[in-house]
Structures are given as C-alpha cells and as structure tokens.
A and B are shown apart, each in its own frame.
Chain A
Amino acid sequence: MTDATLHSPQRSVGDIQTHYMALTRQKRMYSGIAIAVFVLLMVSGFYVADARNAGGFWDGWHQILDFPAGVLSEAWEKRANLPGLMVKYLPALIETLNIAAVATLIGVIFGLGLSLMSTRGLAKWPFLIPVFRRISDILRAIPEIVIALVLIFMMGGGPVPAMVAIALHTAGAMGKLYSEVNENADLKPVEGLASVGANWMQRMMLGVIPQVAPNYLSYALLRLEINIRASAILGFVGAGGIGYELRNSMTWGQGRFDEAAAIFILLFITIVVVDQVSSHFRNRLIGTGGH
C-alpha cells in the first residue's frame, strides 16, 4: 500500500489540486443552481401571492400601521375604560384557557394510548401498529378549524366543539411525539415486569410511564401553549371564548376599539405568561429528569 503511493509521484499535488478544484466548482455550481431555483420560487411565489391578494403589497405596506394606530389612539383616549373592560372579558379568557386545558388533558391521555399502541416492543397488538400510526397521522392532518366548524353545525356554538376539535388534533400530535419518546425507553423494566406476570396495563404504568414521564410532561406543556393560541383562533370562527369577543368588537369597528385593545392586551399577557411559566417548568423537567 505504501508502495502504491510512493510509486506515483507524478499524480500528486498538481493533479490532486485540479481534481479538487473541479469538485469544488461542481459543488459550487450545484449550490448555485439550488439557490437560483429557491430565489426564483420565492420571487415568483411572491408575485403570484401578490396578484391573487385583494390589496397589493406595494399599496398596502405603508398602511400596516394604520389599524394598530387607530386602535391604540382610541384605546388611549378611553384608557380609563381599559381595566374595567379587561375585568369584563376575564370570563371569556378563562373559557378560552379552559378549552385549551381540557383539550390538552384529554388529547394527551388519548395520545398516550395511541403512542403506546404504535411503538414497536410496547404495543399490545403489534400487528395493529400501522393502523394506529395512520390514525394519529390523520388526526394530526385534519385542521382543527374543520372539525370545529362541522361540530358547530351539529351542536351549535359554544366551547365543546372547539374542545373536541383541539383534543383530536392534540391526540394525533402527541401520538406521534410520544411514540418517538417511547422508542428511546429502556425495555428492561418492561421485561422484568412481564417475568413476574404483570399484565399489559401494569407493564406500561409501572415500567414505561415512569421513564418517559418528564418528556411527556414537557411536551404536554408545549402543547398547552399551542392549544391556547388555537383555542383563541377557533373562538374567532364562532366557538366561544375570547376569540369570539374579539371578532364581535372587531366587526363593530371604530367606536369599540377600546374593547379590541383590552382583548389584545389580555391575550398577549396570557400567551407571554403561559410561555414563560411553561418554559421554566420544561427546563426543570428536562434538566432533572430527562435522559
């Protein structure tokens, strides 16, 4: 082997350099093409989106601040009302939070079941793993708004349709995330429990859950953040809560912008507070108990 390298001195530096430069040029050309395609997609995409929009980008961009300015100036004029309005909309905010919390709770429980059923090595019926995986894929793929609107048609407005819609979506998302966590779980405790005659439920409760609980909780908290946003959005299409109040005050337009501002503030504070609290707890969970 040393012979071969020694016997070809003429193939050394110059050849290697040209070869290397050729490779580099080729690589540069490929990344250049990729970047060109990307830029082309972005630019043409922008023009298509702009053409299909009701108002154009170039006409609209300097008006972006008009609406927030209108809301803010009216809210400032009536700033004495704001604390009262915020108290007035507190029940609606609590409803939104309740929708998110219950949906997260129920979704996590169902997602847990789905994930255990679709993890190799843990599933109760291994031959049904693909079925449960497809179930969580489909639950994840249907946007909440669709389920919520269909349910509103069937059961009238209110928090329950939104809750069910978010819970279904959460179940699908958690089914996938949790099954990824489960795959990293150590199977030895499960085998140990099986050897002393534990049934499937006991094996899962005592052998798997204690291992993965910190990760589960951390994902559930992250989901809670996402679900609060989703629950506000669903309120906007008629499912109750703070989103519904926001739409009412928005459609009223000028004159009730102080109410809109109060709701904006409530929503903003809630999201930021929940974000901070959940990221604090998530850091603690992963820091102490994570693998």
Chain B
Amino acid sequence: MTDATASLPITSLKDEADRLFARKRLRTFGIPGVILAYLVYVFFAFDVPGLADRMRLDNAATLVSDSYSYKTQVTRDNRSGDITVAKEGERKGAYPEGMTPDWVEMTDGGAVVDLPDGHRVLFGPDNSAVYIHPSFGEITAQVSRTDGVTLSLPEADLPDWISYSKARLDIRTEAGRLTMTRSKTEVFRYFFGWELFWFTLDSTYHNTSVFQIVFGPQLDETRSNITGAVQDFWNNAMWRHKDVVWALGETVLMAFLGTMGAAMIALPLAFIAAKNFTPLRLARQVVRRFFDFVRGVDALIWTIILSRAFGPGPLTGALAILITDSGSFGKLFSEALENVDNKQIEGVASTGAKPLQRYRFGVIPQIMPVLLSQILYFLESNTRSATIIGAITGGGIGLMITQAIQTQKDWEEVSYYIVLVVLMVIAMDWISGWLRGKLIGRKD
C-alpha cells in the first residue's frame, strides 16, 4: 500500500519542483534580460554612439579650467594704441588708469608683459609685438592695415602651438597666450583662484589683508575701515554678493511660503476628503478629484500658467509650489485622518465639546506628528524644487545659475552658485531635522 501510493505523489512532487525551478530560472535570467534589452534599445534611441561626435571636449576643458582659474588680459587697441589691463577681460575687472599689476610694465608707447617661466611679451611701436619664448626664441609679429598680420620666426617651420593666418595670429603656450588681429593685440596670463572675490579693483580695500582692515590705519576718510570693507564687499560688481544673498533668500522664501500655504489650505480640505469625517460621498469624491487634479497638472504647468499672470519672481514660484503641494498634502493628510483613533474624539465629545473643539483637541494632537514631519520633509525638498522652478519662472538662485551658465564663460560663478545651493539644501535638511527632533521627538 505504501509503495503504490507513495510513488505517485513523489513523481508529481518532482514535476512540480521542476516546474518551480524552471519558473524561477526564467525569472532570474528573464528580468535582467528584459532590463538589458531595454537598455540596448535606449542606447540607440538616445543616439549614444553619436554622442562622441557631439561631445565638445574643448567646452569641457574651458569649464574645468575656468572654474578654478582666471585670466588677466593685457589688450592693445591697434587703432588707437591704448593699452588696458583687465581681469577676465571685463569692464568690471579693469585696472583703473595708472594702476597695473606688477608683471606689466608700461613703457613709452608700449608695454612689457612678464609671463611665468621666463616667457615675455613686448608691445613695441607701430603695432608690433615680440613673444620671447625661452627655448624657441623670439617671435616677432606686426599688424598693418594693408598687409594684415606679418610674422617672423627663428625657424622656418611653424610649431603646432602657433596658428597663423593674415587675419589672425594665435600663440598658445603653457605660460600664456598671445592673439593678434587687425583690431587688437591681446596677451592672456592665467592665475589660480577666483578673481576679485572680496573686493573689486576700484575699491580702497583691494589687496589689503584682514589684519590691515581691522587694526590698520583708516584707509578711506569718509568711512571706518570695517563699514567700508563690508560695503565694498556687499556691492562687489563682479560677484554681486548682495544679489546672491537675496537670491538665496528668495529661494528659501518660495519654499517656505509654498509649503506652509499648501499645508494651511490642505488641512481643512483633508477633513472633507476623509471617510470618517465626511459621510457625504459626493463631497469626498469632489475634494479627492481636486487633489488629484492639482497634483497631476504638475508644478511645471502651474509655473507656466502662473508666470503668465504674475510675471517672473519669487511669488510666482511660491504659488506654483503652493498649488501642487496642496494636492500632495491633501492626499497625505486625509490618509492620516482616516487612521485616527476614534476613542480620543469620543472622549473629548463626552465632555460636551462642539465639532470644532473635537477636531482641535481630539484629532489634531493625534495627527500632529505625521503632519509636522511631512511638512518639514516637503519644506526641505521644496528648497531644491524652488531652485528649479526659479530657473523656469526667473527668480532666486535658479535664475542666477541659468544666467551664468548661458553666458558660457563665468564658470567660476557657476561653481560658486552650485556650492551655495548645495550648502543651502544641506542647511535646510539640517534645520528641518532639528525642528522635527524638537517638535515631535527623535525617532531613535
């Protein structure tokens, strides 16, 4: 008896186990296979092979070198013969009349520019310039209105670091760069660091140390040293510290107003959307669909709609966050409300409390921890969203970043702003964590 009955289940069990293994094998190999196939499809759909051609490595190199170094330009206008020195070639960074860096020496009708490692450029009369290369020799070039740029070299062959045509000469060495066209001759010298971060050249406090400012003699007759230094730093035209601080403030403001406003709108509506507080099915459905709608339309579309009405600025961003998040908050709060314990409400009701008092003392204390932790979490994540929304509507630090990226040359400012944004987000993360700990107690 045992023989006959046992043999049947064993084979069927074995079959079942085999099928199970086969299914499991299919899953363990099938799912990665599907993912791989999808990635291959996307690889071609996104034209990744063509990316190498489109990749602009010179742009990448500019970006990296510009974010940690800057150049000072010595420019001669080949028509008037005037020589100017300016950091990054910008008007805001120009050396005032009569002031030059110590590696530029103005001579009669020309200038001597010292570059590192013994390289040197002489601006001579009649729009000529000599580049003195310590190992290669002297490269003499001259511009005239009729012949364009003429060049004379110590050797017959043009080395690969010089590109030359009648219209333009470009000498690039590791020490610097000389370009010459009909209109101007320019020498670039590269320096490590961010230019004029503290004070611009026209400030009295340029090139003074902190010690000199705090303890040294008064540099400006009208202002005390510390006030003057703070004023000049605050109004620095190159780095615009004032605007940057305002922009950061606007971004945090957008997140704060948007999140708190959304929470205040969502809370009463959440009572209508919660099953245990609103028996009326129709009202519940209306409010819930409203939440789904504002969430589904998405911050991007709200931003576009609102910026048509209010124009660019922080208020538009705050309202966009407010509208989108009132949907998210409404959903979360109504779920929290559906999970409240009825005993507490009954207890409050038994003391003769009216509906509003019942909500205030029976419900709110129960959902407060959930509410606060969600609000604080959203506040933190909205600081980041506010940066992005600011880039679209035109407000806050997001706008400054996109503007700096679009000029495509102020990469040091881009990296500065990125550092500030990262610090801002980390600070908000920390503050919201601290507040959460203070208000509802730590989890661990």
- Measuring CB to CB, which residues of chain A are less than 8 angstroms from any residue of chain B? 38, 41-42, 45-46, 48-50, 52-57, 60-61, 63-64, 66-68, 95, 98, 101-102, 105, 137-138, 140-146, 149-150, 153-156, 158-160, 163, 229, 232-233, 236-237, 243, 246, 250, 264, 267-268, 271-272, 275
Name the contact of A237 in the complex, choosing from B48, B51, B261, B391 (C-beta under 8 A): B391
Residues of A within 8 A of B343 (CB): none
The 22 sampled A-B contact pairs (Cβ below 8 Å) are A42-B257, A45-B253, A49-B253, A49-B313, A50-B315, A55-B309, A56-B310, A63-B309, A64-B309, A98-B45, A98-B46, A101-B42, A102-B38, A141-B426, A145-B398, A146-B421, A160-B51, A229-B300, A237-B402, A243-B300, A264-B297, A268-B296
In the bound assembly, the distance between CA atoms of A229 and B300 in angstroms comes to 8
Q: A149 touching B401 by the CB < 8 A rule?
A: yes
> Min CB distance, B340 to chain A, in Å?
20
Q: A150 touching B296 by the CB < 8 A rule?
A: no
Name the contact of B301 in the complex, choosing from A48, A60, A142, A267 (C-beta under 8 A): A267
Q: A264 touching B422 by the CB < 8 A rule?
A: no
Q: A52 touching B308 by the CB < 8 A rule?
A: no
**B35: Cβ under 8 A from any A Cβ:** yes
Task: Select from chain B the residue with minimum beta-carbon distance to A237.
Answer: B391
> Min CB distance, B380 to chain A, in Å?
10
Residues of A within 8 A of B408 (CB): 153
In the bound assembly, the distance between CA atoms of A138 and B38 in angstroms comes to 29
- CB-CB under 8 A for A102 and B39, given A153-B405, A160-B48: yes
Task: Select from chain A the residue with minimum beta-carbon distance to B408.
Answer: A153
Name the contact of B250 in the complex, choosing from A49, A66, A137 (C-beta under 8 A): A49
- CB-CB under 8 A for A155 and B51, given A60-B311, A102-B39: yes
Residues of B within 8 A of A53 (CB): 310-316, 395
Task: Select from chain A the residue with minimum beta-carbon distance to B48.
Answer: A160
Q: A105 touching B250 by the CB < 8 A rule?
A: no
In the bound assembly, the distance between CA atoms of A98 and B44 in angstroms comes to 12
> Min CB distance, B273 to chain A, in Å?
16
Q: A61 touching B391 by the CB < 8 A rule?
A: no
Q: A271 touching B311 by the CB < 8 A rule?
A: no
Name the contact of B426 in the complex, choosing from A42, A137, A155, A268 (C-beta under 8 A): A137
Name the contact of B315 in the complex, choosing from A49, A141, A232, A268 (C-beta under 8 A): A49
**B305: Cβ under 8 A from any A Cβ:** yes
**B256: Cβ under 8 A from any A Cβ:** yes
Name the contact of A233 in the complex, choosing from B297, B299, B402 (C-beta under 8 A): B299
Q: A272 touching B292 by the CB < 8 A rule?
A: yes
- Measuring CB to CB, which residues of chain B are less than 8 angstroms from any residue of chain A? 35, 38-39, 42, 45-48, 51, 54-56, 59-60, 63, 246, 250, 253-254, 256-257, 260-261, 292, 295-301, 304-306, 308-316, 318, 384, 387-388, 391-392, 394-395, 398, 401-402, 405, 408, 414, 418, 421-422, 425-426, 429
In the bound assembly, the distance between CA atoms of A99 and B282 in angstroms comes to 39
Q: From DSSP, what is the main secondary structure of chain A's interface residues?
A: helix
Q: B318 touching A49 by the CB < 8 A rule?
A: yes
Q: B300 touching A233 by the CB < 8 A rule?
A: yes
Give the one of A68, A143, A268, A272 with max B CB within 10 A.
A143
- CB-CB under 8 A for A154 and B59, given A52-B250, A52-B314: yes
In the bound assembly, the distance between CA atoms of A29 and B142 in angstroms comes to 82
In the bound assembly, the distance between CA atoms of A57 and B313 in angstroms comes to 11
In the bound assembly, the distance between CA atoms of A229 and B320 in angstroms comes to 14
In the bound assembly, the distance between CA atoms of A264 and B398 in angstroms comes to 24
Residues of A within 8 A of B402 (CB): 145, 149, 237
Task: Select from chain A the residue with minimum beta-carbon distance to B47.
Answer: A158
Residues of B within 8 A of A57 (CB): 310, 315
Task: Select from chain A the residue with minimum beta-carbon distance to B391.
Answer: A145
Residues of B within 8 A of A145 (CB): 387-388, 391, 398, 401-402
> Min CB distance, B327 to chain A, in Å?
11
Task: Select from chain A the residue with minimum beta-carbon distance to B260.
Answer: A42
Name the contact of B63 in the complex, choosing from A64, A67, A101, A153 (C-beta under 8 A): A153
Name the contact of B256 in the complex, choosing from A41, A159, A232, A246 (C-beta under 8 A): A41
Beyond the given A54-B310, A57-B310, A160-B48, please list 7 additional residue pairs across the A-B interface where CB-CB is below 8 A.
Answer: A54-B313, A54-B394, A145-B401, A153-B408, A154-B56, A159-B46, A229-B299
Residues of A within 8 A of B48 (CB): 160
In the bound assembly, the distance between CA atoms of A105 and B38 in angstroms comes to 10
In the bound assembly, the distance between CA atoms of A129 and B292 in angstroms comes to 40
Residues of A within 8 A of B310 (CB): 53-57, 60
Residues of B within 8 A of A41 (CB): 256
In the bound assembly, the distance between CA atoms of A41 and B318 in angstroms comes to 14
In the bound assembly, the distance between CA atoms of A54 and B399 in angstroms comes to 14
Task: Select from chain A the residue with minimum beta-carbon distance to B401.
Answer: A146
In the bound assembly, the distance between CA atoms of A275 and B301 in angstroms comes to 17
Q: B300 touching A158 by the CB < 8 A rule?
A: no
> Min CB distance, B225 to chain A, in Å?
32
Q: B418 touching A142 by the CB < 8 A rule?
A: yes
Q: A229 touching B421 by the CB < 8 A rule?
A: no
> Min CB distance, B259 to chain A, in Å?
11
In the bound assembly, the distance between CA atoms of A271 and B302 in angstroms comes to 14
> Min CB distance, B312 to chain A, in Å?
5
> Min CB distance, B310 to chain A, in Å?
4
Q: A55 touching B298 by the CB < 8 A rule?
A: no
Task: Select from chain B the residue with minimum beta-carbon distance to A71.
Answer: B305
Task: Select from chain A the residue with minimum beta-carbon distance to B422.
Answer: A141
> Min CB distance, B192 to chain A, in Å?
21
Residues of A within 8 A of B312 (CB): 53-54
- CB-CB under 8 A for A271 and B298, given A55-B311, A150-B414: yes
> Min CB distance, A257 to chain B, in Å?
12
Q: B308 touching A163 by the CB < 8 A rule?
A: no
Q: B384 touching A143 by the CB < 8 A rule?
A: yes
> Min CB distance, A247 to chain B, in Å?
9
Residues of A within 8 A of B292 (CB): 272, 275
In the bound assembly, the distance between CA atoms of A104 and B296 in angstroms comes to 20
Name the contact of B309 in the complex, choosing from A67, A137, A149 (C-beta under 8 A): A67
Q: B54 touching A156 by the CB < 8 A rule?
A: yes
